[in-house]
Amino acid sequence: MNGIGERLAAPVSRRWRIFIVSSAWLAASKAMNSVQPASFGAMGGMPMPGGWMLSHVWTPTCGHTWLDAAVTFAAMWLAMTMAMMLPSLAPALYRHALATYATRATRLMRAPSLALLVGAGYFGVWLLAGLLLFPCGAACVALALHVPALARATPGIAACIVIIAGALQFTRWKMHALMCCRIEAHGERIEHDVKFVSSISLVALTSLVALTTWTALRDGTRLGLHCVVCCANWMAALIAIGMMNPHAMLCVTAAITAERVLPNQRLIARATGGVCLAWGAWMIARAAIV
């Protein structure tokens, strides 16, 4: 038995271990949310011209520095992305573990441990994206605080961002980014890397472990890069609507998961893009009324 058939022959107990690893990521994200010094949703915000609220996630709270604000934002961002991306990441972790068990050499490493390394590389990319995003968001907030006209126009600008995010769902760029992401997640390149590692099984064990660890981290990082590009429009829409809006987070998570794991991704992308366009139009209408 070769290929997929051999991987599907993995013992049920091993599959349960892989499931536990995926669940551990979700538990970790929930734990990170629970250890936040304060609930961002309970902190509220500052009323701004135009009828919107300035979230405190972009500014230091009383008695804290900008460094404290950046660290807190990074922790919140990482917890949020872990909770949002895990449903679409879990199948990729599972396939990576099956590919690991498919070869005798890489079986020396525990697949759940390698799955954790893949997840670490994946969320490391998302953390870096958050660290790059924070100064941009903070600069926009500072500009809105000092330019009342910009503050009044912010709801309309946010609505335009949501509409652009929805329109991008119909473009070739989105289809290309989504296809690259699905290829990475379905493990074609991962299987190639695992076969390469198994071909040098006569190398010293320490060298094999180091190479396998590096391969897992590289696979996770590569998948994370594709995912960040593919989800850029969705994350922009989420930020425009409000990062701590639970309804928006749930909708974006559902859209990302559906276009990532379900068949006929083109139809799903266009359907979710239509919903996003409608949401943006509703935001424009509300901004005009206010």
The pLDDT of 125-136, averaged and rounded, is 94
Provide the 8-state DSSP code for 60. Answer: P
Q: Provide the β-strand partners of residue 54.
A: 46
Task: For 234-270, write each residue's pLDDT tens digit.
Answer: 999 999 998 878 888 889 999 998 898 888 889 999 9
Q: What is the dihedral of CA 214, 216, 218, 219, to 10 degrees?
A: 160
- Within a 13 Å sphere around the CA of 92, how many CA atoms are in the beta-carbon half? 33
Tell me the residue range of the domain where 57 lies. Answer: 49-289
Predicted local confidence at residue 166, as pLDDT: 96
**How many domains in the chain?**
1
Q: For residue 114, give the nearest of 220, 204, 202 by alpha carbon.
A: 220
More confident residue, 130 or 92: 130
Contact 195, 215 (CB under 8 A): no
Task: For 196-216, write each residue's pLDDT tens digit.
Answer: 444 444 444 444 445 567 777
Is residue 184 a part of any domain in this protein? yes
Is residue 40 a part of any domain in this protein? no
Predicted local confidence at residue 92, as pLDDT: 78
More confident residue, 93 or 15: 93
Is residue 35 a part of any domain in this protein? no
Is residue 43 a part of any domain in this protein? no
The pLDDT of 97-107, averaged and rounded, is 56
How many whole angstroms separate alpha carbon 101 and alpha carbon 15? 11
More confident residue, 11 or 243: 243
Task: For 142-161, write each residue's pLDDT tens digit.
Answer: 888 888 888 888 888 999 99
Predicted TM-score (pTM) of the model is 0.76
Residues 6 or more apart whose Cβ sits within 8 Å of residue 181: 223, 226, 227, 229, 230, 260
Is residue 30 a part of any domain in this protein? no
Q: Which two tokens stand for residue 170?
A: 């119909």
Is residue 175 a part of any domain in this protein? yes
How many whole angstroms separate alpha carbon 113 and alpha carbon 18? 9
Chain center to CA of 41: 20
Is residue 150 a part of any domain in this protein? yes
Mean pLDDT score of the chain: 75
Is residue 4 a part of any domain in this protein? no
Chain center to CA of 80: 8
